[in-house]
Amino acid sequence: MDREETNNNMHATARWTNYRRMVSAITISSLSLLTCVALNSSGTSFAQTRKRTVILAVSAESGEVSVDAVAILEGKRLLAPYNDEQKDKQKAFGDEYFKKGTVYRLIFGGGDAGTTTINKWSEGCNNIHAQATVSTSARLGGKVMALATNSEALGKHSVSRRPPTDAERAAVLTLMKSIYQRNRTPASLMPAIKVTNLTATDLNGDGKYEMIGSFTLAAKNKFERDLFLIATPQGSAMRADFVKFQAYQPPPEGFLSSIDFIDQLDVDGDGLGEVFATVGGFDGYGLLVFKKVGGRWRQVHDQIGDAC
């Protein structure tokens, strides 16, 4: 090209003119593209406005519905939305996910069960909480809780949660007593064991309902024995699939560490629902997630509920 420019100035001039025109065209196109990008970054881009998948715990007491953040789902990983020291992130989460009028899908028994609509949110002692209205046939209240999510993919099947049959309840109670006995519970205390919740739910979609139960026992000296149990049918009996037995002396204030079932939801698409639960603590509570890994249940996530 250098040889051509030396031999023919007219051709060089023409090419230089064409080159300037081309550069001008590219510059105009680039500016137009940058303008579009700038407009999109202001809020119209789908990637910018798309919210992350959140999983929330929904509880009710005396007709008032409360919502807590449990986790952010990133791929197949459950991440903490924030911690109790990140007040700025708590506020940002509240402004974005607990905004008045935001509607979430209600999950009960691992499936679609209605909607949860956020009314407002506020700060607690060390966490934020939302108040909401639910539209569902599920009878929430006390130990009967649910989940909620903004995902359109999770829990897209029918509800699989019900009270146990008389036969199922009897089989679970037999199993429960054997667990207490193996943990050296005096025979004189066995009749005082309380069932705080017992739920039948199909965790893996095979049509056979697992039993998830919580049990407490307080001796006269206030020594506590709590059990969180996942049991599977074995003929007419029940087999323990997961046992969390706690024997401890509560503090003078009486705060317990018992674990209670919230609901189940298959968050990673492996066909087996993860089990969501609450756990008591010193003047507070936490939120837990259990997953079956390599044939054994283990805790895979925890998040503060609140602590005062």
16 pLDDT exceeds 50? no
Residue-level pLDDT at 80: 95
Residue-level pLDDT at 50: 60
257 compared with 283, residue with greater pLDDT: 257
Strands 53-61 and 146-149: antiparallel
| Neighbour-count burial of 295, counting CB atoms closer than 10 A to its CB (0-12 exposed, 13-18 middle, 19+ buried) | exposed
The arithmetic mean of pLDDT across residues 281-305, rounded, is 93
Tokens 């992350």, located at residue: 52
Residue-level pLDDT at 10: 37
Residue-level pLDDT at 211: 98
Angle subtended at Cα 190 by Cα 185 and Cα 194, rounded to the nearest 5 degrees:
110
Residue-level pLDDT at 25: 41
Contacts of 261 (CB under 8 A, 6+ apart): 143, 145, 197, 199, 212, 213, 214, 228, 275, 276, 277
Residue-level pLDDT at 284: 87
The arithmetic mean of pLDDT across residues 300-305, rounded, is 94
Encode pLDDT of 53-100 as tens digits. Answer: 999 999 999 889 999 999 999 999 999 999 878 899 999 999 999 999
> DSSP 3-state assignment of 215?
strand
User: How many Å from the N-terminal Cα to the C-terminal Cα in the chain?
Assistant: 79
Tell me the C-alpha distance between 188 and 248, whole Å: 18
Encode pLDDT of 124-147 as tens digits. Answer: 988 999 999 999 999 999 999 999
The arithmetic mean of pLDDT across residues 274-298, rounded, is 94
